């Protein structure tokens, strides 16, 4: 069918539907942008709420992570202490 044969009422409806669809696409794009901004905020909030390790909100897992971190720090403390003690003995400062 040619354009001249199309009923003007139907043609107006089709045009208005096309405009509404383009407006919805624009609105959907704006919603996606705001959702991505909210996701960025939520990541920051999760770090603030769950701590830097971000393991979970379960306190048992948080305590386990804290225990592992403390054991690593303690072992490094003894390692550096022994290296320093050996250095002082070899330099003659320590007995």
pLDDT at 2: 52
State the Cα–Cα distance between residues 45 and 83, nearest whole angstrom: 41
Map out the domains of the chain as residue ranges.
1-50, 55-95
Identify the CA nearest to 69 among candidates 55, 85, 48.
Answer: 55
pLDDT at 72: 96
Question: What are the residues whose beta carbons fall under 8 Å from the beta carbon of 54, sequence distance 6 or more?
Answer: 46, 47
> Residue 65 CB: number of other CB atoms within 10 A?
15
78 pLDDT above the threshold of 80: yes
Output the average pLDDT for the chain.
Answer: 75
State the Cα–Cα distance between residues 13 and 24, nearest whole angstrom: 16
5 pLDDT above the threshold of 80: no
**DSSP annotation of 40:** H
User: What 3-state class would DSSP assign to 54?
Assistant: coil
Mean pLDDT value of segment 52-66: 73
């Amino acid at each position: 069918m040619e354009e001249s044969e199309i009923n003007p009422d139907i043609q107006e409806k089709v045009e208005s539907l096309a405009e509404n669809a383009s407006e919805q696409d624009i609105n959907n794009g704006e919603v996606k942008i705001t959702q991505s901004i909210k996701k960025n905020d939520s990541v920051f909030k999760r770090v603030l709420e769950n701590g830097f390790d971000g393991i979970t909100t379960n306190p048992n897992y948080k305590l386990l992570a804290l225990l592992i971190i403390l054991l690593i720090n303690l072992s490094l403390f003894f390692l550096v202490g022994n290296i320093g003690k050996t250095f002082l003995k070899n330099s003659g400062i320590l007995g």
